[in-house]
Amino acid sequence: MKRCALYVLLVLALLSGCRSGRNLSGPAVWREGSPQALFAEMFARHDADTTAFVKSTAYLSLGKYTVRGKVQIRWRRDSAVQFSVVPLLGMEVCRITLTLDSLYIVDRFHKKYMAESLNAVSDIIPSGISFAAVQSLLLAQPFLPQREIVPQDVLLFDIAEKGENYLYAYNPPLSSDEYRFEGDRRACLVGADIRAAGNAREFSCRYSDYAQQDDAIAPQRIVCMFDGFSSERVMLAFDGMAFVWNEPQSLSTGISARYKKTDLESWIKILLR
């Protein structure tokens, strides 16, 4: 673990420039409205967006151990989202790609790879987390189990005030799971909490520092917490996020024949040792 952390710290000084996002014009501001109207605005905001490129600093923590690195995110609507770690001279050292039905990992540093269906890794990922869910979380939008939702689905939620914000709660029929989303009065999603009562697992996500880039609005910080998936809490945070919208994005799942196949749990242990 110390060797990996030292490597990351040393190479951060050698980072090459990524494509620049559009200039931020300042904090995002919206007109206040009913909780139903604010819920609908969360979905209408990115209806016309088909791709995104994001550059960010990412932090992965497990207990007392933390790894930091620069990350690029490429997203194509209803197709794929790819996370690339690029700490050294802009050269990718790790790539994680999520498609509608599969998860791919290519670790160039350790020469390992993983390619599995989402069904094969369902026991170690949060209940209800699918490609549609990850896509919604990246766009700062609520989601329901295994699918995206539309503004009219607000009728499925119990709505309550939480301080100056609104809390939208949903319990799937015949299930003890809980889906709770918190939105502020500017139509910004500020929190998501997914609890699977059956196996005592919980996933939470927090959004902050919303800003406007031309006509697009997005958070600059996302923090995700995973509880009950290991003996220690897992935290994944993206900070200083800068978005470029609707430019062509090339995503690849290619794997070198020289790499050795591994599984997701083993790869995480390799990363944090």
pLDDT in tens, 20-49: 334 344 555 555 689 999 999 998 888 889
CA-CA distance, 117 to 100, in Å (whole number)?
A: 9
**Architecture of the domain delimited by 2-23+32-272:** Clam (2.50)
Task: Give buried/exposed letters for 110-125 (b at 16+ CB in 10 A, else e).
Answer: eebbbeeebeeeeeeb
CB 79 within 8 A of CB 96: no
The distance in angstroms from the start CA to the end CA of the chain is 4
Question: Which amino acid belongs to residue 172?
Answer: P
pLDDT tens for 71-102 read: 999 999 999 999 999 876 778 888 999 999 89
φ/ψ bin of 54: left (φ > 0), alpha (ψ from -120 to 50), beta (otherwise): beta
Ramachandran angles phi, psi of 35, nearest 5°:
-60, -30
- 103-114: average pLDDT: 91
Q: Where are the domains of the chain?
A: 2-23+32-272
